[in-house]
Amino acid sequence: MQGPTNVDIKLARKIIKSYKFICKFTSKSNRCYAEPNNKFIHIGYQTRSLNTFYSAVFHEIAHCLMFQEGKYYEYHNTKMYKKYTLNELKTIVKTAVKAEKAADKIGAKLMKNHIDLFLDLTYYGYSDEDIKDFKKYIVGYFKKLIREKKYAKK
């Protein structure tokens, strides 16, 4: 498995900046996320193949674009440290998986738009197992807050 080179990271940075987003790359983890409200994308590539590296780049760009268009706004504006109301938590839980799947769909299209650069690569999105893990850990976190009644009063 060949991971991203410095040339790949420079290319990914150039692509992200072409959408007018800020980016940070780290080889110390595989954690990838976007803070769409800040136009910020973080890509970890510790053990990523080229497929998963570029897929993650386009997936996170898709999250930022959806935020700008107001799609899944509640989910895209989620902050782990904020205390949400019960209704806000329910909305986040309801839209989280939909937002991730939509980001995969858009990310795959974006990657195809740059097909001349990525002819030999295939977009790698959330598998059924990934979605299962996502529901268990991320969505599970918000559901736990609901169960334990750890939410803000209106």
Which residues lie across from 42 on neighbouring strands?
A: 24, 33
DSSP H or E stretch at residue 22: strand 22-26
Q: Which pLDDT does position 14 carry in this prediction?
A: 95
H helices present in 3-81, as ranges: 6-18, 50-68, 73-76
Instruction: Specify whether the CB–CB gap between 24 and 31 falls below 8 A.
Output: no
The pLDDT value recorded for residue 75 is: 85
Supply 62's token pair: 């898709």
pLDDT tens for the chain, 154 residues long, are: 578 999 999 999 999 999 999 999 999 998 999 988 889 999 999 888 888 999 999 999 999 999 999 999 888 888 767 788 888 888 888 899 999 999 999 999 999 888 777 778 889 998 889 888 888 888 888 888 888 888 777 6
